Amino acid sequence: MTPGVGPATRAAVGLSIGFAAVFSLVGADARWLGALGAAIVRDGRIPHGVPYASDPTGSWPNVPALGELVFHGVLALGPRGLLLAQLVAVAVALAVIARDAALAGARDAGIALAVLIAVVGAFPALAIIRVQLFSLALFPVLLGLLRAETRRPSRRLWLALPLLALWSNLHGAVLVGLAVFGIHLVFERARRSLGEAAVLAVAGALACCVTPALERTPRYYEGVLKNVAAQRGVGLWAPLSLTKPFDILLAAAGLVLLALALRARPRTWELVALAALAAVAVHAQRSGVWLLLAAVPAAAVGLPRARATQTRLAVAATLAGLAIAAIGLAKGPASSGASAGLLALTIREAAGTPVLGQDLLAEQVALAGGRIVIGNPIDAFSHHDQSVYLDWIGGKAAGDADVDRARVVLVERHGTAERRLARDPRFVLLRRDAHAALFVRRGGS
C-alpha cells in the first residue's frame, strides 16, 4: 500500500497555509505581469518591449507571457485574487514535499516537523506575493518526479520536458529546475543510460525555449541573470545577510534541515543538488526557499522517531489552520504601496507624462493604466538605464538623471529617495499616505 500523509502533516500544512494568508503582503515583482497581461488582451498580441514605460525596451524578448495572462486574470479578482493564487501555490508546494517524504519512508511526526522548520525559514517567500508563486508550486513537482525516478527508474522522466516548457512560460526560476534536472541526469540517469541522459539534457534546455520568444529565449534569461540589480546584489537579488532577522531564520532552518538530510544518506544527485541550492541561497537570499523545499523529504527521513500525534489534536489544528486561512483571505493581503486615492492623483497630475516611481509603486501606476519612466521587469531596459534607476532608488546623485526628466515622482516613505527629493527645490510635496509620497515639479500642478 502506498503511504499517505498523516494527521500531523496535514495539521502542519493547514497551519502553514493559514499563517501565510494572515501575514500576506503583495510585494514588488507582482503587478507588472498584470499590466503586460492587460496589454496582451487589449491588443490581441504580445507587445514589443514594455509598452507602459518611456525608456526604450523594444528588443526585450517577452518570455513569461503566459504568466502575464494568468496574473491579468487573477488580478481581475483584486488583491484577494493574488492571495488566493499564492495560497494555492503554497498548498501545492507543501503537499507535494510532504507526500514525497512519506513515499521516502518518513514518519508522520517527522514530516510535520520538517515542514514546519522549512515554513519558518522560508516564511517571507510563502507570505509575500510575487511572480515566483508559479515556481513555488512547480519546483516541488519536479523534485517529486526526480525522486520517484530514483526509487523506480522509468520513462516518466520524460514528463520533465513539458513541465519545464510550462514553467519557462511562467517564471524565470525554471533555470533552478533545469539545473537540478541536469544534476539528476549526470549523477543518476547517466549511470543507467548515458545516451538517454544526454538526449534528455539537450531536450530539457530546448524545452525551456518553447516560449513566444523561441530562439531569443536564452537572451531573456541572460538578461535576468545579468541585470544590474543582480550584479550589485540589491533588492530581490540581495545576498544572505546574518544581520537581518529573516535571513538568520533562513540560515538556521537550512542548516538544521541539511544536517537532518545528511543523516538519511540521500543519493549522490540529491547531495549535489542540495549543495548547489545552498550556494544559490547564499548568493541571493530569496532563492533560499528552493533549498528548504528540496531538503524537507530527506530531513524528515533523517529525524529520530517521534511520538505519534493524537488524531483529534491534529484534526483540530488542521481545521484551525483552514479557518485562519479563510480569515486571511477575507481580510486580503496587507497594503504595501500607494493608496488608491494617491495612485489616482499621481496619474491625474502626470497628465499622460511618464511617472518616475520606485519599483512597487511604478508597478501600481502601470497596472492602473498610467505610464512610467522605468520599472519592472528591470531586465527589459538597457544596463545604463537600469544603473541610473537603481542609483535614484538608492538616493545617489547619479540617479538625478531620471529626476531631471520627470514631472511627477512617487517614492516610498522614509527612504533615501524621498529625503533627497525633499531637498530638491524643483519639486514640491503634493500629498503622502502611510506608504508613499507624491512630489510634483513646481509649476506643473
pLDDT, one tens digit per residue, over 223-255 is 999 999 999 999 889 999 989 999 999 999 999
Q: pLDDT exceeding 90 applies to what percent of the chain? A: 83
The band of 444, judged by pLDDT with boundaries at 50, 70 and 90, is low
| In a shared domain, residues 110 and 204 | yes
- The pLDDT tens digits for 82-136 are 999 999 999 999 999 999 999 999 999 899 999 999 999 999 999 999 999 999 9
The answer to whether residues 321 and 407 belong to one domain is no
Q: CA 177, CA 172: separation in Å to the nearest integer?
A: 10
CA 338 from centre of chain: 21
Within 10 Å of residue 212's Cβ, how many Cβ atoms?
16
Task: Kindly report the average pLDDT of the chain as a whole number.
Answer: 92
One domain, residues 406 and 308: no
In a domain, 335, yes or no: no
Is the model's pLDDT at 265 over the cut of 60? yes
Pair 360, 309 in one domain:
no
Query: Does 298 reside within a domain?
Result: yes
At 311 the pLDDT is: 65
Q: Kindly state whether residues 395 and 294 are assigned to the same domain.
A: no
**Residue 212, pLDDT score:** 96
| Number of domains composing the chain | 2
Answer whether residue 306 shows pLDDT above 70: no
Band of residue 312 on the pLDDT scale cut at 50, 70, 90: low
In the numeric block, which cell numbers belong to residue 11?
495539521
Task: Verify that 104 and 127 share a domain, yes or no.
Answer: yes
Domain membership flag for residue 430: yes
Q: What is the mean pLDDT of residues 32-50?
A: 94
Q: Is residue 54 part of a domain?
A: yes
Last residue of a domain, one of 299, 327, 355: 327
DSSP string, 139-183: HHHHHHHHHHHHHS--GGGGGHHHHHHHHHTT-TTHHHHHHHHHH
Lowest mean pLDDT among 204-213, 325-334, 351-360: 325-334
What SS3 state is found at 9? helix
Is 256 in the same domain as 392?
Answer: no
On whether the CB atoms of residues 10 and 318 are closer than 8 A, the answer is: yes
- Please state whether beta strands 356-357 and 25-26 pair in parallel, antiparallel, or not at all (unpaired): unpaired
Residue 340, pLDDT above cutoff 60:
yes
- Could you tell me if residue 352 is inside a domain? yes
Residues 344 and 273 in one domain: no
pLDDT at residue 320, rounded to an integer: 81
Looking at the fold, whether 122 and 14 belong to one and the same domain comes out as: yes
Q: Which of 6-10, 304-308, 406-410 has the lowest mean pLDDT?
A: 304-308
Mark which of 260, 292, 327 sits at the end of a domain. Answer: 327
Specify if 333 maps to a domain: no
Q: Where is the domain boundary, 302, 327, 352? A: 327
Do residue 122 and residue 95 come from a single domain?
Answer: yes
Over residues 332-346, the mean pLDDT reads 91
Q: Which three cell numbers stand for residue 50?
A: 514594455
Asked whether the predicted pLDDT for residue 309 surpasses 70, the reply is no
The stretch 283-300 carries a mean pLDDT of 96
Evaluate whether residue 366 is within a structural domain. yes
Q: In the sheet that 356-357 helps form, which strands lie side by side, from edge to edge?
A: 356-357, 408-412, 436-441, 427-432
Read off the pLDDT band of 1 (50, 70, 90): very low
Structural domain range at position 97: 7-327
Cell of residue 1, nine digits: 500500500
pLDDT at 330: 85
Q: Are residues 157 and 103 in the same domain?
A: yes
One domain, residues 293 and 356: no
Cβ neighbors of 155 (< 8 A, separation 6 or more) are none
pLDDT digits (tens, 9 = 90+) for 49-87: 999 999 999 889 999 999 999 999 999 998 899 999 999
| Residue 209 belongs to some domain of the structure | yes
